[in-house]
């Protein structure tokens, strides 16, 4: 399955005390095995790296984890000015935070589900794209 992977799922997959750890871990396993293909906006790299650094992960581990989720066959979509304006429109109509709107925009653009643990994204994106939990 091709899907837009939200940073919340990636980070939760490395936090055993997270309530959705097992589900996130299972989704990441499907991605690692090639059963799922991840599509992410370029901000995913920064979001995941920053979150993991704040949790105390070492730079080499962060780099390897992010590379595994953003290297071929997975896709990283750049967000230029035109795409940012489209995502801004989604942010306005859904009242989502800017970065979250980029994930929703990408899922709608690609016609694939958004996989997230963010309850607000799940609820507010329903009219724009399909949203699933891991």
Domains delineated in the chain: 2-132 (3.40.50.1010)
d(CA 111, CA 46): 24
Percent of the chain with pLDDT over 90: 99
Residue 93 is predicted with a pLDDT of: 95
At 126, the pLDDT band (50, 70, 90 cuts) reads very high
pLDDT (average), residues 63-68: 96
pLDDT (average), residues 51-57: 97
Residue 15 is predicted with a pLDDT of: 97
d(CA 84, CA 128): 16
3-class DSSP state for residue 58?
Answer: coil
At 85, the pLDDT band (50, 70, 90 cuts) reads very high
pLDDT (average), residues 98-126: 97
d(CA 78, CA 71): 14
Element spanning 38, H or E: strand 37-41
């Amino acid at each position: 399955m091709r899907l837009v992977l939200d940073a919340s799922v990636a980070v939760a997959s490395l936090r055993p005390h997270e309530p959705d750890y097992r589900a996130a871990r299972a989704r990441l396993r499907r991605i690692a095995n090639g059963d799922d293909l991840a599509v992410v906006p370029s901000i995913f790299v920064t979001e995941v790296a920053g979150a993991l650094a704040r949790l105390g992960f070492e730079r080499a581990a962060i780099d390897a984890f992010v590379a595994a989720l953003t290297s071929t066959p997975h896709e990283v979509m750049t967000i230029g000015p035109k795409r940012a304006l489209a995502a801004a429109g989604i942010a306005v109509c859904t009242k989502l935070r800017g970065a979250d709107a980029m994930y929703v925009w990408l899922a709608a653009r690609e016609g694939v589900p958004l996989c997230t643990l963010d309850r607000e994204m799940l609820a507010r994106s329903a009219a724009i794209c399909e949203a699933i939990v891991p």
